Structure 1
Amino acid sequence: MNQPILIDRDGHRTWLKWHRARHRAADPVFTGERIIEAMRLGASIEVDLVIHADHGCAVLHDLTLERETTGTGRVRDTSATTLRQLHLRDNDGQPIASKVMLLEDLCALLTRETVHPDALLQLDFKEDRQALGPEIVTGFGVSVSPIAGSVILSSGDFDAIATLAGSAPGLRTGYDPCHRGTLAALQASGNYLGFIEDALATAPDADIIYLAYEIVLAAEDAGVDIIAPIHAAGRRVDAWTINSVTPQSIEQVTRLLRLRVDQITTDDPEGLAEVFSK
């Protein structure tokens, strides 16, 4: 079986991004073990960041603690000390040995590791520019700068990304223009190319444009290739998120590979690599 990091098809390489630091569908999210594995292997891997009470970032997706951790309440109201004492939960909601990491914990962990030159850690900031204060921005820069060459910072708010990236020289950035209701609006208007033009203009420095895979495929159904103009602008495309390996998702991934997306976000990189190595 191929390593669960990429698929080569018809002369084009598509990376398999480990969504929420999952190697396989059964993995819990955001464990240091899986992040280290990915970075040693040369994989693309994604974790999320939310702001905590001490003006820093926790490696979590939700703004509340109950689903992902043994804590309760808002992350924003929880101290760094308390967060570090919380355990993560597995996919069945049961506590596991791994504890919640803060951004500085994650970065310190990776500075002690031998990181593969192809490895790319995506930090997906789940809040907006208004949530950022000077302490958060400064702390972000201090934490991320030592590993900036192996990191890309993304968000749906490019103003937030530009602000944070300014504190860590050499950090790459990405932009996700897809929000709730975007697909329905595009299907109604048919203005797929205008949508892409706006995304490229909004984020002129973004290396990667992150697109919901449903939008990519809906555009193709409408006779529009929205990957080509992104490539023409010298950017790459990530299609998110393939949650599991099913006959339907295999057909969807086959189409995405044909459209030459550069990266596919998935909760089951191992499963997709197995299917597409045959």
Structure 2
Amino acid sequence: MNQPILIDRDGHRTWLKWHRARRRADDPVFTGERIIEAMRLGASIEVDLVIHADHGCAVLHDRTLERETTGTGRVRDTSAATLRQLHLRDNDGQPIDAKVMLLEDLCALLAEGAVHPDALLQLDFKEDRQALTPQVVASFGASVSPMAKSVILSGGDFDAIATLAGSAPGLRTGYDPCHRGTLAALKASGNYPGFIEDALATAPDAEMIYLACEIVLAAEDAGVDIIAPIQAAGRRVDAWTINSVTPQSIEQVKRLLRLKVDQITTDDPEGLAEVFNR
């Protein structure tokens, strides 16, 4: 079977990013087993970070614990020791054996095994610049610096991303300018070129620009290719998120491939690879 890592089409290579560390749609999120597997295969894989009570980062998407873990309350109010005792939940909400990891746990896990030179771990920071303290920045740098060459840090607040990246020399960065309401505003204004210009200006050091696939495709429907100007500026484009493999999502991926996006975020990279790499 082809590995669920990338799709080569018409002379262009598009990587399949394992969203929330899922190889398949039925995988639970953020398990060390899948993260290690992806990094050894040379895949692109994403995990999320939120700040906990001891001024470090937990590998979780939500700022509250109930949906993803066996805990309750805010991550911000929960100690590192308590977080490490919590179990993750599967897609049906049932507890699994895997426990919550902190950022330093994840980096230590990766340091124990061989990492493929093509592997890329995306750390998607879910908070803003105001959430950062000197202790958070220092803890981030100490954890990530040994793995910096295999990591890219992303988020929607590029001031926060730049601040954290400054603590880990050599760390690559990415920027996501898409927020709730962005698509509706762009459909109303039609100013897709201005949207991209603003994104590039806001994050001048970002290697990757992360765009909601609905925005990419809506721009194409309006006769605007928003991928080309980003690539012309020397950046790469990630289109997010293909949640499952359906006739509709397959058509969306075909369009994204024609537009030559550099990466597609998906909860089912294995399923997409089976469809497109037969």
Q: Same fold (TM over 0.5)?
A: yes
Code of the residue aligned with 1:79 in structure 2: it is: S
Structure 1 stretches of 4+ with a deviation exceeding 2 A read none
Counterpart position of 1:131: 131
Task: Give the CA deviation at 1:130.
Answer: 0.1
1:63-105 Cα offsets, whole Å, 9 max, x none, are 0000000000000000000000000000000000000000000
Matched residue SS, 1:46: strand
1:195-234 alignment to 2 at 5 Å? 195-234=195-234
Does 2:23 match 1:23? yes
How far, CA to CA, are the matches of 2:27 and 2:226 in structure 1? 32
Does 2:81 match 1:88? no
1:6-45 alignment to 2 at 5 Å? 6-45=6-45
How far, CA to CA, are the matches of 2:143 and 2:60 in structure 1? 16
Counterpart position of 2:269: 269
Code of the residue aligned with 1:161 in structure 2: it is: I
Counterpart position of 1:105: 105
Does 2:155 match 1:155? yes
How far, CA to CA, are the matches of 2:3 and 2:220 in structure 1? 29
Code of the residue aligned with 2:92 in structure 1: it is: D
* Structure 1, gaps ≥5 residues long: none
**What's the TM-score, normalizing by structure 1?**
1.00
How far, CA to CA, are the matches of 1:39 and 1:169 in structure 2? 21
* Structure 2, gaps ≥5 residues long: none
1:165-244 alignment to 2 at 5 Å? 165-244=165-244
**What's the TM-score, normalizing by structure 2?**
1.00
How far, CA to CA, are the matches of 1:113 and 1:123 in structure 2? 19
Matched residue SS, 2:88: strand
Matched residue SS, 1:241: strand
How far, CA to CA, are the matches of 2:5 and 2:74 in structure 1? 34
How far, CA to CA, are the matches of 1:212 and 1:10 in structure 2? 23
**RMSD (Å), alpha carbons:** 0.4
Task: Give the CA deviation at 1:2.
Answer: 1.8
Give the percent of matched residue pairs that are identical in Structure 1 and Structure 2: 90
How far, CA to CA, are the matches of 2:108 and 2:2 in structure 1? 30
Code of the residue aligned with 2:150 in structure 1: it is: S
Code of the residue aligned with 1:113 in structure 2: it is: G
Counterpart position of 1:254: 254
How far, CA to CA, are the matches of 2:260 and 2:192 in structure 1? 17
Task: Give the CA deviation at 1:11.
Answer: 0.2
Task: Give the CA deviation at 1:113.
Answer: 1.0
Matched residue SS, 1:28: coil
How far, CA to CA, are the matches of 1:100 and 1:113 in structure 2? 20
1:107-138 Cα offsets, whole Å, 9 max, x none, are 01111110000000000000000000000000
Counterpart position of 1:146: 146
Counterpart position of 1:164: 164
Matched residue SS, 1:219: helix
Does 2:65 match 1:65? yes
How far, CA to CA, are the matches of 2:255 and 2:140 in structure 1? 38
Matched residue SS, 1:121: strand
Matched residue SS, 2:230: helix
Task: Give the CA deviation at 1:6.
Answer: 0.2
Matched residue SS, 1:244: coil
Code of the residue aligned with 2:209 in structure 1: it is: I
How far, CA to CA, are the matches of 1:182 and 1:113 in structure 2? 40
Matched residue SS, 1:24: coil
The total of aligned residue pairs comes to: 278
